[in-house]
């Protein structure tokens, strides 16, 4: 029988990158999936001038795929601007992981939602900054995903 998880998923699950919580975070994203009960907290440090993510950590109470997705997504957005970070979709996370089984695709959505929620929180703390329309758009798109279903825009991977 073919292994359920790629070597990359197992590697990130065993040795997750950026795990923990930033004490004096500039943005916090708390998301969860009501169906499986998994929870994820993303904390960010942001350089206000360039709006670049200078540090990021995650705490995930969830399955191995959610932990591996958190690890990969935090690696991907570190050093990126908030705008660039918002362009990273769960599809990119899945590709980066070398695929996820279809029943586990929602775990990668949680990672995308966590980043978007932390970015929204960052803007919420800065009344001097305008929330870019992309942030609002992305959040409403992510909030409309039915957690009972595999996200429609994803092809089953690997």
Q: Binding string, 17-36, against ligand FES, x = CB under 6 A? A: ----------------x--x
**Could you tell me which stretch among 50-58, 94-102, 103-111, 121-129 binds ligand FES (CB under 6 A)?**
103-111
Tokens of 62: 């969830």
The number of residues that bind ligand FES (CB under 6 A) is 10
Considering beta carbons, is residue 137 or 153 the nearer one to ligand FES?
A: 153
Q: Smallest distance, Å, CB 68 to ligand FES?
A: 10
> Among all residues, whose Cβ is closest to ligand FES?
36
Give me the helices (H) in 25-100, please. 64-77, 82-86, 90-96
Name, in order, each residue with C-beta under 8 angstroms of 39's C-beta and a sequence gap of 6 or more: 30, 31, 32, 60, 61, 62
Q: Smallest distance, Å, CB 70 to ligand FES?
A: 10
**Could you tell me which stretch among 6-14, 19-27, 63-71, 128-136 binds ligand FES (CB under 6 A)?**
63-71
Angle at 112 between CA 46 and CA 138, to 5 degrees: 85
Residue in 105, 106, 96, 58 with CA at minimum distance from that of residue 76: 96
Give 57's DSSP letter.
E
Q: Binding string, 75-94, against ligand FES, x = CB under 6 A? A: --------------------
CA 127 – CA 64 distance, rounded (Å)? 37
Q: Point out the residues that are catalytic.
A: 36, 107
């Amino acid at each position: 029988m073919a292994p359920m998880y790629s070597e990359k998923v197992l590697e990130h699950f065993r040795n997750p990158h950026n795990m923990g919580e930033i004490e004096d975070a500039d943005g916090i994203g708390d998301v969860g999936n009501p169906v499986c009960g998994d929870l994820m907290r993303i904390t960010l440090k942001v350089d206000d001038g360039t709006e670049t993510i200078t540090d990021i950590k995650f705490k995930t109470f969830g399955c191995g795929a959610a932990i591996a997705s958190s690890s990969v997504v935090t690696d991907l957005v570190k050093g990126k601007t908030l705008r660039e970070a918002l362009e990273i979709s769960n599809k990119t996370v899945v590709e980066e992981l070398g695929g996820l089984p279809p029943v586990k695709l929602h775990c990668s959505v949680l990672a995308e939602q966590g980043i978007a929620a932390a970015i929204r929180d960052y803007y919420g703390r800065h009344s001097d900054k305008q929330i870019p329309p992309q942030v609002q758009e992305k959040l409403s798109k992510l909030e409309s995903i039915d957690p009972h279903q595999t996200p429609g825009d994803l092809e089953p991977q690997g």
